[in-house]
Amino acid sequence: MEEPRKRARPGRSPAPAGRTARPRQAEVARLAGVSQATVSLVLADKRQGPAISEETRHKVLEAARSLGYVPDPAARRLAAARNNLLGVFSFTATFPTDVQHSYYPFLVGVEREAAERGYDLVLFTGSSTGGAGAAGPDALSRVRLADGCLFLGRHAPVEELGRLVADGFPVVHLGRRDEPAGLHWVGADYVSAAREVVGHLAGLGHRRMVLIREDDEAPASTDRERGFAEGLEAVGDGSVFRSADPERDLTPERLRSWLADGVTAFVAEETDTGAAWRALRRAAADAGIECPRDASLALLGSPPADLADGPEPTGFDIPRTRLGAAAVRMLAALVAGEEATEPLVACTFRPGATSGPPPATEDH
């Protein structure tokens, strides 16, 4: 006897053959070519907030039907139970609380904007034991106790962040990140800022420069390098020195060799460690290079606290407090299920005292 066929529920397409996991909003967003916040608004049929065209609504609903998406009732209940808490998680080994730490101004901006919007902050302490990786593969799961979470740090676990994003949990990274896909972030315009510093050096007469940076693919580093290269395109020639340990590899002999080859300016990136600038300062001192008489130095960022008592370096200042506030604004929008965009924040050029015209060369 033939078994009766099961009737499909109206308004819902059957799940794709062979699929066992529940489709997520992130998949609907990718298929429809829109943001996850847009998917959330369309599927919740929210008409307030940003205007969404009928064409976009149709694309989202078609993508949801083709994937067999249905809302997770548990997730809906959780989303409704807001407690006005925003999480903060740093991937540095010790969470920064010292006023001289480079992250401190970020936190000032975060606190001020959160208070203005009626949110309390909760600090997740996995970062105080060596970062998320040291606390095990599920270290980030605790952040779900808050309505959403801000993350700080150059090196973050992509897979764990990706799970939060795919689940629709509101996440914002403070600083540009290309992975995981769909992650919201706020950042400074390091490309334009680095280009301006190189333009300043070129205006002083420098034509050959070297960029000293750490050996990784952190977006902040690649943005600075891009700005360095763009600044030199029309005026001179530059090279990039990358090292996993600049304080070991950037020797006085290497600096003297560059000077002998016609390099007149050295540019270092700022990182959490401050290693590139510290290495450049030490190597220049050990080589007997007087700055800016013998060579000009520039820093793409602010100097580490332990070197703040020296000459103010030519470079730019990062608007950390403004970035912290922008991150909270974006996170609050995501928590509310709204579209979230923040423009890149401009850095402020710093003339400093470490740059001047290149040394005069004798004609032979």
Judge if pTM exceeds 0.85: no
Strands 348-350, 314-317: pairing is antiparallel
User: What would the two tokens of residue 45 be?
Assistant: 């049929």
pLDDT in the model for residue 99: 56
User: Residue 2 pLDDT more than 60?
Assistant: no
User: What would the two tokens of residue 281 be?
Assistant: 């300062």
User: Residue 17 pLDDT more than 70?
Assistant: no
Beta-strand (E) ranges in 12-133?
A: 85-90, 120-123
pLDDT in the model for residue 109: 94
pLDDT per residue as tens digits for the range 169-193? 999 999 888 888 889 999 999 999 9
**CA distances, 3 to each of 6, 15, 17 (Å):** 9, 21, 20
User: What would the two tokens of residue 329 be?
Assistant: 């604004």
Do 325 and 345 meet the contact criterion of CB atoms below 8 Å apart? no
pLDDT per residue as tens digits for the range 133-175? 444 456 688 888 899 999 987 777 788 888 888 888 999 999 8
pLDDT in the model for residue 95: 58
Q: State the pLDDT confidence band at 248, using cuts at 50, 70 and 90.
A: very high
pLDDT per residue as tens digits for the range 278-320? 999 999 999 999 999 999 999 999 887 776 677 899 999 999 9
User: Residue 328 pLDDT more than 90?
Assistant: yes
Question: Please, what is the average pLDDT of the chain?
Answer: 83
Task: With both helix axes pointing from N to C terminus, report the angle between 25-32 and 54-67 in degrees, rounded to the nearest 10.
Answer: 120
CA–CA distance, 94 with 105 (Å, rounded to integer): 16
pLDDT in the model for residue 254: 97
Residue among 189, 173, 192 nearest 181 (CA): 173
CA–CA distance, 211 with 232 (Å, rounded to integer): 11
Q: State the pLDDT confidence band at 42, using cuts at 50, 70 and 90.
A: confident
Among 82-91, 97-106, 325-334, name the one with the lowest average pLDDT.
Answer: 97-106
Residue among 280, 282, 286 nearest 298 (CA): 280
Distance in angstroms between the alpha carbons of the first and the last residue of the chain:
104
Beta-strand (E) ranges in 22-104?
A: 85-90
